[in-house]
């Protein structure tokens, strides 16, 4: 029986944070132990930990009402009595000295109260600036008398399998903790959202690590720890982080306006199967939603989409990302093959509906 992915931890979630290096970046200090050379992460941890925070959340949860009470005078009484406060914990990191903090949506999304504990023990109430369910990201803000220590974004696209990473977070509410590992794989799809493209690492991640940073060897955030693969709910050697190249534009959009607007065509597509060992280009339109931007522009079932604005489309995943990156209202050039002939169709992109964030089929 396959082990299910576990995105829930102590309270609201578990994630791992890692710091990895790349060929162009200085690695951690190396200490000699006899004939072996072992990396030393002490300087790196000392530099980045002041910007890592613990997050405590309070949310309300109501028990399920028996069907026989619905619509009766006892319904309201039941709701009042069954409402209870639920405590949870997670992690985050400061990206701006003014007090902006990144975490996961599943840590703070349903919270009625959020308190952030800084590295020096100071506790500050936080307000949620915005969340993005599609990428499981959240942006918080705390008010402080002075500038807060912050960590910079790094470039996740240069990370290589085998690079060192350092994860920081608040496992089991123990307080800020670091673990070290390597990048185990890239581009992982784990079925949690339409923009799955996770960095897999073997840095130890446990309940409470959710929302914490994944650092490279230069002390830059190259991922946000979001999920683990575990048969028990605790660390089993595999954790997943949202790459900074996906997270950063989402967080910047939340800073600007508290929301993320993504482009949408209104088509369902399927990848083309390879024939005779040869890779086939493009994705096939399997359905066009009535009244959608695609329908108004004249896209049809059976069209093969080759490119968006000249950018090659090889899979349904690349299509949704290309379209989502376009601001609603803008027009894109969709290159399709129809009845054996290439055509370029202009489509005015719409706003991606919330329900489309649950899967990758509606683009």
From CA 163, how far away is CA 161, in angstroms rounded?
6
For the chain, give me the number of helices (H) and strands (E)?
6, 25
| DSSP β-ladder status, 213-215 and 206-207 | unpaired
Closest CA to 269 of 280, 251, 283, 290: 283
Q: Which residues are catalytic?
A: 106, 136, 210
Task: List C-alpha distances in Å: 97 to 151, 217, 218.
Answer: 9, 22, 19
Closest CA to 119 of 144, 156, 153: 144
DSSP assigned state of 3: P
For the range 230-234, what are the long-range contacts, defined as Cβ-Cβ under 8 Å and sequence gap of 24 or more? Answer: 230/3, 230/6, 231/3, 233/6, 233/8, 233/9, 233/14, 233/207, 234/206, 234/207
On whether the CB atoms of residues 140 and 97 are closer than 8 A, the answer is: no
């Amino acid at each position: 029986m396959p082990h299910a992915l576990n995105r829930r931890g102590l309270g609201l979630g578990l994630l791992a944070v890692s710091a990895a290096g790349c060929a162009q970046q200085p690695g951690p200090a190396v200490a000699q132990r006899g004939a072996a050379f072992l990396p030393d992460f002490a300087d790196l941890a000392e530099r980045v930990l002041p910007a890592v925070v613990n997050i405590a959340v309070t949310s309300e949860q109501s028990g399920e009402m028996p069907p026989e009470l619905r619509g009766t005078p006892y319904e309201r009484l039941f709701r009042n009595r069954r409402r209870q406060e639920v405590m949870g914990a997670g992690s985050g990191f400061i990206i701006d000295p003014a007090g902006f903090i990144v975490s996961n949506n599943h840590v703070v999304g349903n919270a009625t109260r959020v308190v952030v504990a800084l590295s020096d023990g100071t506790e500050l109430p936080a307000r949620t600036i915005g969340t993005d369910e599609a990428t499981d990201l959240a942006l918080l803000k705390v008010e402080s008398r002075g500038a807060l220590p912050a960590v910079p974004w790094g470039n996740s696209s240069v990370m290589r399998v085998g690079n060192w990473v350092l994860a920081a977070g608040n496992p089991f509410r123990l307080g800020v903790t670091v673990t070290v590992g390597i990048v185990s794989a890239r581009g992982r799809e784990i079925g949690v959202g339409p923009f799955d493209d996770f960095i897999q690492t073997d840095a130890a991640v446990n309940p409470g690590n959710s929302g914490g940073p994944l650092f490279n060897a230069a002390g830059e955030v190259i991922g946000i720890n979001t999920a683990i693969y575990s048969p028990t709910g605790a660390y089993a050697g595999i954790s997943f982080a949202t790459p900074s190249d996906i997270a950063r534009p989402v967080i910047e959009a939340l800073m600007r306006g508290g929301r993320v607007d993504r482009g949408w065509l209104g088509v369902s597509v399927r990848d083309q199967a390879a024939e005779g060992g040869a890779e086939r280009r493009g994705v096939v339109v399997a359905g066009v939603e009535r009244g959608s931007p695609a329908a108004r522009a004249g896209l049809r079932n059976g069209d093969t989409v080759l490119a968006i604005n000249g950018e090659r489309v090889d899979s349904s995943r690349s299509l949704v990302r290309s379209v989502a990156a376009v601001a609603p209202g803008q027009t894109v050039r969709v290159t399709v093959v129809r009845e054996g002939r290439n055509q370029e169709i202009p489509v005015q992109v719409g706003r991606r509906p919330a329900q489309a964030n649950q899967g990758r089929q509606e683009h």
